[in-house]
Amino acid sequence: MKVYKFGGASVKSAEAFRNIAHIIRTYGGDKQLLVVVSAMGKTTNALEHIFNLAYKQHDFEQEYLQCQAYHTQISKELFPGGDSPVHERLEHLFSQLHHHLKTIPSGATYDKFYDQIVSFGELFSSVILHYFLQEQGLNNAWVDSRKYIQTDNTWREGKVDWNWTERTIKRDLPEILQDQLVVTQGFLGGTNNGLTTTLGREGSDFSAAIFAYCLGADAMYIWKDVAGLLNADPKYFKDTVRYPEISYQETVEMAYYGASVIHPKTIKPLANKLIPLYVKSFLDPGAEGTKICDCRFEVISPAYIIKENQCLISFSVKDFTFISEKNMGTIFNALSELRLKINLMQNSAISFSICTDYNQERLQRLVQTLQDQFVIHYNTSLHLFTIKNYSADSINKITTDKEILLEQRTRTTFQIVSR
Ligand code: ASP
Ligand code: MG
């Protein structure tokens, strides 16, 4: 069996939905197929915004109505008759969402309520896709992924209970897949007491990999608006090259350094079962794309990866003693408590520097926690540039005209933090 994952861009319009039906019909083949779908277009961003307003007890109606109008417009285009049950299902989901927004208690745990609300994007898109494929003669079952991917209550980054998840998926889904497609949501999980969790932004790839792993799929496909896995983001670089085939290892590293093409957690479950991952363009579905698998290549073109919105923090000991392992332990503990991830680190005699994704609230809490013990300086609005498999040329290309705050290299990887 196969797993297909369609991201936000592949369900952003009625036309895009029609294209999915075309892809499934043309390439889905005779095999059993499970389809994972993300929220439509920029819906997750919109829901984050609506949630932020509601959380602060501000008026959110206008933004909420916009989000609703976007979804109803597309479902009207897809089901012009008006008598499809999709309309009622959507209306019901929207009124549930509205109820959640209206009833956020003051002082509620932000991340927990975020998950209960922002998760609606995938419910909307999967319901529309379910009915649309059905109408196109692609018989399918709508499956609630929150009932299959069980996580702990690490809100916004649920940790998967693999045993439970695998057992439950294996118990139910192979039978359903015998005679129909399965349509389910990316990004979502559920706790054992029925609350919704999310798996981290862009986590739908990971959801698809979880299903692929648990079902022992023959292959997983990610359908995107790019030609495959490229050596750089075409938003920032011209002359990008596509890797026709690349190893799990290279891909994991690229994802870790911030290549946004695949969610970093996606590869491990696939690699563990040697399930090949194909990255293909939904705009040109017949084209080759990229195959990610258990392979090795001696020479591979340099990959350029940019992480934006970075923050460089340095800690020094107040009395000019050297930075010790004990000091670092204190710093690491605080970082882990606040779920601040280190993208790069470096130490000198009296200071220790780290580069992390900028999160104002967490940074402030970090400073509060550690300011009695360390002198802390930080710079924000920085970029982290990584070149994997670098060459002298590729380094020049990146470093010219940049103010570099930190530089690091290993045999394979070159990194700078710059303005
Ligand atoms: N809709 C979610 C997001 O935008 C998950 C995903 O698209 O992978 O982050
Ligand atoms: Mg996405």
| pLDDT given at position 371 | 95
Q: For residues 381-405, give the mean pLDDT.
A: 94
| pLDDT given at position 259 | 86
Q: Please state which CATH number belongs to domain 2-293.
A: 3.40.1160.10
Interval between CA 314 and ligand 2 midpoint (Å): 33
* pLDDT tens digit sequence for 345-386: 999 888 899 999 999 999 999 999 999 999 999 999 999 999
The verdict on the CB of residue 121 being under 6 Å from ligand 1 is yes
Distance CA 268, CA 311 (A): 28
Ligand 1 atom closest to the Cα of residue 202 is: 8
Between 222 and 233, whose confidence is greater? 222
Q: Tell whether the model's pLDDT for residue 158 goes beyond 90.
A: yes
| pLDDT given at position 320 | 79
The verdict on the CB of residue 289 being under 6 Å from ligand 1 is no
| pLDDT given at position 236 | 87
What is the pTM (predicted TM-score) of this model?
Answer: 0.91
Q: Tell whether the model's pLDDT for residue 30 goes beyond 80.
A: no
Give Cα separations from 68 to 7, 124, 218 (angstroms).
19, 10, 37
Interval between CA 125 and ligand 1 midpoint (Å): 11
Interval between CA 133 and ligand 1 midpoint (Å): 21
Interval between CA 137 and ligand 1 midpoint (Å): 28
- Confidence bin at 251 (pLDDT 50/70/90): very high
Bridge-partner residues for 143, per DSSP? 184
Angle between the N-to-C axes of helices 43-55 and 61-78, in degrees from 0 to 180, rounded to the nearest 10: 150
Q: Tell whether the model's pLDDT for residue 189 goes beyond 80.
A: yes
Interval between CA 237 and ligand 2 midpoint (Å): 20
- Confidence bin at 322 (pLDDT 50/70/90): confident
Ligand 1 atom closest to the Cα of residue 263 is: 8
* pLDDT tens digit sequence for 128-150: 999 999 999 999 999 999 999 99
The verdict on the CB of residue 8 being under 6 Å from ligand 1 is yes
| pLDDT given at position 298 | 79
Tell me which residues have their CB within 5 A of the ion that is ligand 2: 7-8, 202
Give Cα separations from 351 to 126, 310, 321, 348, 383 (angstroms).
50, 19, 10, 5, 21
- Confidence bin at 297 (pLDDT 50/70/90): confident
Q: Please state which CATH number belongs to domain 303-418.
A: 3.30.2130.10
The verdict on the CB of residue 201 being under 6 Å from ligand 1 is yes
The verdict on the CB of residue 42 being under 6 Å from ligand 1 is no
Interval between CA 42 and ligand 2 midpoint (Å): 9
Kindly list the domain boundaries of the chain, sorted by start residue.
Answer: 2-293, 303-418
Of the candidates 187, 273, 278, 171, the residue with the CA atom closest to the CA atom of residue 224: 278
- Confidence bin at 36 (pLDDT 50/70/90): very high
Distance CA 52, CA 49 (A): 5
Q: Which ligand is nearest to the Cα of residue 9, counting in written order?
A: 2
Interval between CA 354 and ligand 1 midpoint (Å): 27
The verdict on the CB of residue 32 being under 6 Å from ligand 1 is no
183 CB contacts (<8 Å, ≥6 apart)? Answer: 35, 37, 126, 129, 130, 133, 140, 141, 142, 143
- Domains 2-293 and 303-418 in one fold: no
Percent of the chain topping pLDDT 70: 100
| pLDDT given at position 299 | 79
